[in-house]
Amino acid sequence: MPRSLAGMLVAASLVGLAHGASAYEVVPAQRRGEYLKWGASRQAGTAGGEVTWGFVAAGTPGSEYCGDLCPGPSLGELPNFYPEPERSNLARSLGLEQLQPVFQAAFDAWSAVADIRFRYVGVDTSMRAIGDPDSKSPMIRIGIWRHAGLAANFCAAAAFPPGLHGGSDLGHVFLNANVGFQRSDAPEAGRVPDFPLGGGLHMSDLHLLALRETGHTIGLADSRHPDSMMCRGDASATLRPTLMWRAPRADDVAGARFLYGPPRAGRP
């Protein structure tokens, strides 16, 4: 089960950039030599500046902009979180405030390897629909929906970089409430459990998922490198094991630095 549908959604507009052994992919903008990224310039290697992020309040409307990823109003919690999947298949809900440190750690991981920084601004209670041109803050909006159609039980989340499909200049993460989640204790490069003991929904690790989806929001697409954290997922959880990564891998770092350059010492 892939962790994301973002690669499929933008496949028609991806450009593969193979630099030496790198296989990362980024999303081109309309002008030649520019990419969907943050910052004052869309040219590769330019700073991303400060990007604000936050959650959308429960009840935020979806729209045609995100289609089956955000049907109807958003939810305020993930209902299928397994706190101890190695011992029990009992699930509980996980609210937005409990997801904040998970996503903060993911954004911090990208900021540590590239010239872009992030600031959490809380929960957006404006109730502006996804894709609303009047929505300006936060710059990356994260919400929970019950995905529909192909995405209903096929992915755990999807993410858009700013300007995808020529629409909103915001970035988005759409978490899927239909599937299961966990916080795995697997060691780095260790196998992440697929299902809880006793059976249940397929589980995605929240930290790994957040790291991958925030990678999409800064302009990285699915990598072709098998050792990349951004590597495209398989169509089934049984085809290839999910490995735990808690930081961007070499190919991921190369992609982030292609877009934003390396982190600057002493930046505010």
Summarize pLDDT for 44-94 with one digit per residue, the tens: 999 999 999 999 999 999 999 999 999 999 999 999 999 999 999 999 999
| Domains identified in the chain, total number | 1
Domain span at residue 200 reads: 6-260
How does pLDDT run across 202-242, given as a tens digit for each residue?
Answer: 999 999 999 999 999 999 999 988 889 998 764 444 456 78
| pLDDT the model gives residue 255 | 97
- Tell whether the torsion through CA atoms of 242, 243, 248 and 249 is positive or negative: negative
| pLDDT the model gives residue 12 | 30
pTM for this structure? 0.90
The answer to whether 55 and 123 have CB atoms below 8 angstroms apart is: yes
Residue 251 lies in a domain: yes
Residue 163 lies in a domain: yes
- Residue 72: CB atoms within 10 A of its CB come to 11
- Mode of pairing for the β-strands spanning 25-26 and 15-16: antiparallel
- Residue 58: CB atoms within 10 A of its CB come to 17
Residue 268 lies in a domain: no
Residue with tokens 């982190």: 263
The answer to whether 230 and 251 have CB atoms below 8 angstroms apart is: yes
Q: Which CATH number fits the domain that encloses residue 62?
A: 3.40.390.10
Residue 162 lies in a domain: yes
Residue 252, SS3 per DSSP = helix
Contacts of residue 98, Cβ cutoff 8 Å, sequence gap at least 6: none
Q: Which amino acid appears at position 45 of this protein? A: G
Residue 265 lies in a domain: no
* Rounded Cα gap, residues 138 and 142, in angstroms: 9
DSSP character for 140?
E
| pLDDT the model gives residue 71 | 95
The answer to whether 144 and 76 have CB atoms below 8 angstroms apart is: yes
Residue 266 lies in a domain: no
Contacts of residue 152, Cβ cutoff 8 Å, sequence gap at least 6: 68, 146, 176, 178
The answer to whether 262 and 112 have CB atoms below 8 angstroms apart is: no
The more confidently predicted of residues 13 and 268 is: 268
